[in-house]
Amino acid sequence: MTITEQIQQRVREALAPEHFELVNESYMHSVPAGSESHFKAIIVSGRFEGQGRVQRQRTVFAALGELTGRIHALTMKTLTPAEWREAGGAVESQSPPCLGGSKADG
């Protein structure tokens, strides 16, 4: 299973997301072609109810477990279903450009 598939599986199992987008943005960074190092995710889940931003990202990282250490970066938007509806079912998520300073780990 690819890292992309593993992330998808773990997020689906742990967070039962109402909406989930995962984009492998590794091509934007100074890593070999075909890498699975940099990702962007939009996750809409009821599990985020009552959690602040920091706690939501910790929830996602906890779901990923040791996978977290195998990827370099994960840009996230974490919303509750109510926030997602309020946002009209779309959020903007623009990852910062890579500056190429560190090719290993986060």
Partner 1 sequence: MSPDLKARIENDIKSNKIMIFMKGSRDFPQCGFSAAAVDVFNRLGVDYETRDVLADMDLRQGIKEFSNWPTIPQVYVDGEFIGGCDIVREMFANGELEQVVSKALGK
Nearest distance from residue 87's CB to partner 1, in Å?
12
Q: 63 near 10, Cβ under 8 Å?
A: yes
User: In which residue are the tokens 């990282």 written?
Assistant: 61
Binding mask 34-53 for partner 1 (x = CB under 8 A): -------------------x
Least distance in angstroms from the C-beta of 41 to partner 1: 10
In the complex with partner 1, the residue whose CB is nearer, 46 or 65, is: 65
Q: Within 85-104, which residues bind partner 1 (CB under 8 A)? A: 95-102
CB nearer partner 1, residue 13 or residue 66: 66
State the DSSP string of 32-98: -TT---EEEEEEE-GGGTT--HHHHHHHHHHHHGGGGGG-SEEEEEEE-HHHHHHTTS-----PPPP
Q: Does 54 sit near partner 1 (CB under 8 A)?
A: yes
